[in-house]
Structure 1
Amino acid sequence: MPTPEETADARQQRAEELLKAVAGGANLGEETLKMSNEFTDEWTARFTARLKRIFRR
């Protein structure tokens, strides 16, 4: 699993790509929803992994 620093860097890069896409005419709502879903999926996976580690003991 990537470290929080790696995912923060990846999120920063994705945000910059989103801004460029929107400036180029992309749909703001659609792009924002995609980014939000990626963030939610990442944190859900982290939470699930943590629960699995806790209950394996």
Structure 2
Amino acid sequence: MEPDAESPEERALRALRAIDEGADIGAEALALSNEFTDRHTARLSAWLRRRRRASRDD
């Protein structure tokens, strides 16, 4: 399953289940943080590309 197919709540629940099953809390927290950062960085990059494209079209 692709990470994008899961909602943030589903990813958090997956991490909590993994922690309950003995996974490293720090590693799970870091993975969630990285997913959040990657998602928002991609959104910001897309917004900047749209802004640059719009300014060239003017």
Please give the range of the TM-score, normalised by the shorter of the 2 chains. Answer: 0.7 to 0.9
* 1:26 to partner: Cα distance: 0.3
The answer on 1:16 being equivalent to 2:34 is: no
Q: TM-score, normalised by structure 2?
A: 0.80
Give me the CA root mean square deviation. Answer: 1.3
Q: How many residues align?
A: 50
Q: Which has the larger radius of gyration?
A: 2
The answer on 1:27 being equivalent to 2:24 is: yes
Moved over 2 A (4+): none
Q: TM-score, normalised by structure 1?
A: 0.82
What runs of 5+ residues in structure 2 fail to find an aligned partner? Answer: none
